[in-house]
Amino acid sequence: MSLSVVILAAGKGTRMRSSLPKVLHKVANKPMVGHVIDAARQLDAENIYIIYGFGGEVLKATLTENTSNDDLIFIEQTEQLGTGHAVDMASPSIKDDEDILVLYGDVPLTKVSTLQKLLDVKPDNGMGLLTVNLANPNGYGRIIRKDNSVVGIIEQKDATPEQLLINEANTGILLANGEDLKRWLGNLSSDNAQGEYYLTDIIAACHNEGKDIATAHPESEVEVEGANNRLQLATLERAFQLRKAEEIMLAGASLRDPSRIDIRGDLVIGQEVQIDINCIFEGEVVLAHGVKVSANCILKDCIIGENTIIKPNSIIEGAVVGDDCSIGPFARLRPGTIMNKDSHVGNFVEMKKTILGEGSKAGHLTYLGDTTIGQKVNIGAGTITCNYDGVNKFHTSIDDGAFVGSNSSLVAPVFIGANATVGAGSVIAKDVEAEELAVARGKQRNISSWKRPTKK
């Protein structure tokens, strides 16, 4: 049977103290509802219904930006009349012969494996319900059982003192056949303390029809926790990051402190990887075998080759780094940069759209933009490739074995030949052929009668 998912995302989130819809607040640099959508897609959901309310245009624009959204169907809930009413908004689109999984846009950490367990336990004649045993279930609806079978759910505000002692709580996540779900939703009543249509009332309806209700449970409470304010949001962020830290440690990484790492995307690692404190990984990052990442580094959408060392406070974005390289400290590699095997950039070196050849190095205080550098080239401290004339960008080529002296400016477009030498302090605006020495300095004058200014 096919599967569709309904995600409730209509809450304003007043306690967030924000003009942004609650579900767009981020965990690991992704909107909470984005995590939920990712889980639905991993379950191969045919359709994903997003029930929205406040900030709908912002929500739709955010979720459809830079991504395929053919599976997303946005449905507006103009009145906030409860969770049952919200799910019922999707009823005209739901097919009788499909299963419907109900998820929540502000509950981002539910594992796909947990949802798969729910799919696996659902009986053919009945529904599946995700429940959790809580030490403190305050605020949650309680699971009512008779002879160990689920017969209903009672909300906190409607519960008796005896029912409030129940520790098995409702997560709100459930799975039902489309035809059954639409029938149960159509029969909901708002005769309760809140005057709302509770989705939880369909559990009693299912039981009263003699259908089975099977339960599944998450591995931990945090999987079913939501965020209603920024404190809870921060708690989810730390839980997510600890989960990611555990995953990469089990994959072979050593973390100096698992509580001080941030993974905001996908991090793929080889064995014997070492990561120091306060490092941030964004987008798609690959760390090959033996990579060492020192403290306070930021890596985004990059590939780092085997045994490369990234020294403290370096930033790498959109770059490909080969094996046995060293970077930093305080280096910046910008998009389009390629460092070949055994190359080196040191402190306060910035590269953009630059290829650094095998065995080449730029040790200090250097900017290399739109540049191709051959093998075993030495770039002296303070060297700049002047690639921009205020309107257009131009390219610099430096051939194998060249030596560029300190504090040189290479005015693109310009070519430095193989084994050529540029004298320190030169401004090079013309090509330098192979083996040549280029010196381009103003004539020095020493004035013996000059007096220093004195303070008046």
Three-class secondary structure of residue 327 per DSSP = strand
Cβ contacts of 88 within 8 Å, gap of 6 or more:
185, 186, 188, 197
Q: Give the distance, in angstroms, between the CA of residue 255 and the centroid of all CA atoms in the same chain.
A: 19
Cβ contacts of 245 within 8 Å, gap of 6 or more:
255, 258, 259, 261, 263
289 is catalytic: no
> What is the rounded CA–CA span in Å between residue 365 and residue 349?
5
Cβ(291)–Cβ(270) below 8 Å: yes
Cβ contacts of 222 within 8 Å, gap of 6 or more:
109, 236, 239
Cβ(254)–Cβ(274) below 8 Å: yes
Region class of 14: left (phi > 0), else alpha (psi between -120 and 50), else beta? alpha
Cβ contacts of 367 within 8 Å, gap of 6 or more:
349, 350, 351, 383, 384, 385
Residue entry with tokens 């599976």: 71
Catalytic residue among 217, 289, 344, 364, which? Answer: 364
Q: For residue 184, what is the DSSP state?
A: H
Q: For residue 37, what is the DSSP state?
A: H
Known catalytic residues are 364
